[in-house]
Structure 1
Amino acid sequence: MLGWYFHWPSVLQLGPDWAPMQFNTALCFLLLALASLLNNHHFLARLISFVLMSIGLITLFQYIFKINTGLDQLFMEHWLFTRTSHPGRMAPNTALCFVLLSIYFAVPIKHRLSSLIIGPASGFAFGLSLMALIGYATGMSFAYGWQELTSMAVHTAFLFFIMSSALLRRQYIFWKDKPFEFIRWQTATLIPLVIFIVVGIKIPHIRTQEIFLLETAEADSELIGNRMELRLAREGAEIVFTPDHEKVLIETMKYFSSVKNYHYRLLINGKVLDADHEDYWEPIAVYDLNYEDSVIQVQLYPSDKKSQSFIRYFYFSIFIAILFAALAVWLLLTNYKRQQTLAMLATSNIRMQILFESSQFGLAILDSHLNIEQKNESFLKVIDHADINSLKEVVDNRKDYESLLDIDKKQKITVATRIKGKSVEVSLSQFGGVGERLLVCKELSSSPDKGHQTDSSNLLDITLNASGCCLCLCDEKGEIFISNSDFDDWQDSNVAAAGRVISQYIHSNDLPEFQDKFKQAIQEKNGPKALECRLSKSGTWEWCTCRITAQADLDSNQELITVNFQSIEDKRKLIRQLEQSVEKLKQANSDVEQFAYIASHDLKSPLVGIKNVSEWLIEDYSDALDEEGQDHLRMIKGRCNRMAALLDDLLIYSRTGTHELVYSDINVKALVKDVCQLHDCLNITDIQGEELHISVDKRALEIAIRNVISNALKHNTNEKKKIRVTIEEKADQAYISVEDNGEGVNEQYFDTIFLPFKTLKPRDQMEGSGMGLAITAKAVRRLRGKIDVSKSELGGLNMTISIPKQRGQL
């Protein structure tokens, strides 16, 4: 940027025939550096990336639609035009690189699709910059300049190479610890890299063709020069050319260029005589003809056909590169899936081996001929013989052995047999895909006093005893054959060994319902059946929740019923205590209400007497009393009125939280109008909002609205009083806002104005008990709502009541 300002061409253009770095390019690099430094400030980095992307896209838009938006020389008027098609406009591959690199900062790296977006973008920019550097190193202009458009500068390509490499390294560090995302990023990034690697391999061949084109053009330029010299000699041209002689040169040049497929420029003494090509591109061949005192210069440029041949070959190279990239990606993904599958198989084999060796059951793996290939330690303990090598040696009973031979027709066969004098359950099941079988041997206990399964290491016993409730397993007749320790503790005996039925432990009053649920569970088998019943516990009865679940045993075709008892005695005690507390609270509320009524009535009676006496003294003895005496009597009368109002408000406050709420459909707007008419303020009240119907207790809501409007009128000293009521609904809430144009309240008192007996002015200035807003707050709380206070746009106070639209909503 400083090079453009201070006219330093050596900074902008590193070689005399090389393209300079445009001012907009330097500006975009500055923005790219800022985005990289501010990468932790996501908003700023994203904002800069959008600006950078916009500049790149606008530049590409100008190239595609051949328009000029004024962006190229918006910041600087350019004075260097080598290999520049449009003054100040960055190369199209440069603009594309800026768009690609800006994607890294625009898309959050933690986005679920970032590995498929930012990786290929950075890889594509890396490939474009690397190809440009290779082009400058080999003299292949096609690698850094697209047709006759502005070329990418060599230091621009180098900066892109450094920046894209740094961004790729950042992504590698971020994704390497996330295997699945890393392989996706690696695959997506590999595609553009492979494409440019293959294209880079093709560049020397393209360069060879370009050199051949240059040599051919040099020979053709010399040939046309010779022909022009012969034509001039034949026409007898002297030192000064006449228009006819110039016409001969032009005709010769046009004919030759059309035959050889060249664009050309013809100059005489540095002045353009004829041209069919713009002045912004370098010629591929120049020939100077010194004829007399004049210098005739022929400049040849590649034709569109020759350029198209290069483009077609380049596109063909890209197509081949894409095929190679697709093949590489396919091989990479295939290898990754293969490695992943092998890792999963290895992990599964290790887990299976651990389970096989640590199993408490006797396990053995048999081949297709039912010979034992592998057995665990538990198998040796059950069989009690180390030299057994086949299924036939394990199962002595011929009938049981023949039953197991049907394994080819079934997935699993289970038999109970005797091995070495012990009762053993033998299960044979298909295992693997090459005819292998899995043999499971489980020793059965034959001692009835130990129940069906009393080994402490047995997984079933551990599970039952860890359940934390009374649990037993029964048959379809209700006979208990397995019970956990909690159930045995409740009954002070080994229930399974006693051969009892479950109904013996159920209270007689609850037994009919229990038996019905028990039968339903067996017949329907659609989930547990639940009920509450009393279960015997050490000679007493305790309330429990009972869940009965039935399931058929596929091997024995018998019903297996699980009965689960969970004590709810503590819960029922809490419920009874809660009911007692509620009853006591109702009685206390009734007593408070009765006391408030009696106190109000008994206290108001003497107040009325005092008030009447003071009025009589004023009427009958006003002439006998001076002005001060009359003021004292009037003060007594006012204090009596205030005390009476206070007692009335106290009675209302006490009753507000005790009466039963009666919910009904209320038109809020109509209710507000009724309250305003009651206070004779409808003419100064602006009621806004649509008709809103809610389900609410009308008495409580009317008390709240009446007190809020009364407060807005009472404390408004403005001569032109104004009230605005706004009714609206948001989600499941109804909002009623009451605003006034009074003097308002200081914000520090917003939380205290709802306290009982709280007034912000002396009693002599403002008559009131200080209970109005306290009653309002209590009524709103009963409706499960709330009341908020804020400053009003009218200048006074804004009180907003919010309550649920329907009963039960919060």
Structure 2
Amino acid sequence: MKTIQNKTMVGVQQRQWKHLFALISGFVAVLGMLVITSWHLGWTTVLQINPSLVPMQYNTALGFLLAGVATLLLAYGKKSWAVGLSYAFGLIGFLTLLEYVLGVSFGIDQFFMEHYITVETSHPGRMAPNTALCFVLTAISLVAAASMRQHSATTAVTSCVIFSLALAAIVGYAGGISEAYGWGHLTSMAIHTSGAFIVLSITLFTWSWTRQRQSIPPWLSSVGGIMGVATTLLIWQAIASSVSSVTSTTILLTGISATALLAVLIEALCRLRAANVHIELEIAERQEIEDMLQRQAEKLTRANEDLEQFAYIASHDLKSPLRAIDNLASWIAQDVGESLPPKSQEHLTLMRSRVGRMEALLGDLLDYARAGRDAGVAQAIDFGELVQDILETINVPAEFQVDFNPVMPTLRARKSALRQVMMNLISNAIKHHDRPDGRVTITATEVSPNDIEIIVRDDGPGISAEFHERAFKPFQTLQSRDEIEGTGMGLAIVKRLIQNEGGSIQLISPAGQGAQFRIRMPKEMPLPEELPGVGSKQV
């Protein structure tokens, strides 16, 4: 769901950028068309902002018209048309540079019309060399922007150089430094030409930025450094032509130092932003995982509640027909009495025994489903008193001996759970003993500052090693049910209760030396639902 929302948001942002690019590129194209029209109609105010300033040449206006349309086509996905127009105005700029370098004329300067304004113009109709260079770089930038995403750095670098050339011209006009917008005696860059290039370069730079998947592109610091160095060198070169060498050197060193500081600051910004983005992503992922875990926990809780409800209903509904069968068997025994053959009486007794075992099994199933749930809150428990209370509750044969020290450690746990654990272990030791005069020994000791170990040991027949794991599984009995009445759920319930209390149980039973159950539990059981103010009884 979040992925779909992110994609939708990205799509909306891309459409907004597309409309902005279209608006800006339309402005550049309209400016070019307006200047072309002004050349034909003689609107000198449009051609020259001031009569003393250089006009925007016809080929310059044509270049802006083509560049604006190409950028507009690129914004709306018409990449092949955008590349074609980029080659067209880029070729005009490239041929103009060749004319300056080779000192020749290819006849393109006044191809469309004869120029009648030649203020600060070395060759009538010929655009300035810095203007021609800007058009070549703009063409390269647009072609790179129309290609794969990995070329966005090329677009960014070229657009920054264009911006530096145009900014140097603007600074030159503002400071009265003609060398900043005019190279030597050659045609100068018009002031509205420099303004249009600034707008166009910012548009191309923004385009390259929006094409990146990262919020801050990795090449930003490098591009910032290039832009600063280029602007500094251009302005220094212009000022150096009219001031002393000491002053120009100072300007150069100051500019380069400021540029280096700018690059360092941008790099720090990039790293900080990247770290923030990484942290935000980690937080979002962690929140998503927590939400998923919360949903799974709620789902598991509902499933457990349904399972417990099912166990309760099944136990209740199945016990009713069992009671009816037991009652029917009892009535038959009462009505027929001694007239039944001995074999039939034995079968009737066995049937009632099976019914009783089934009822016990259903009860144990319900206990197993509820083990560890709704067992009360943790409280201080005197373990010696707990054992004494259990022995008074269960029926211990007179010949059987249960040894324990009344003074035992106090631990903090849920009393009902610990009581059921000890009752099951003691009852099992008595029930499964092979002699009526057996012995069970119970000890509890602190094995560490945080843990207590409880041992229930008997001197019965023990349990073979191959049955140790099986003994803790549900419905497992190691003796015939006809010999020993049992459901096979006692130790399974014990293990589950102990694990829910944060403890563990281990069975140790050397051959013929009885069984020993070792329970390790925390002395302080932390529970979210633990209630304050529960008193403890000291021995």
Q: Normalising to structure 1: TM-score of the pair?
A: 0.33
Q: Normalized per residue, which structure has more helix?
A: 2
* Greater RCO, CA 8 A, separation 6+: 2
Give the alignment's TM-score, normalised by structure 2.
0.49
More strand by share: 1
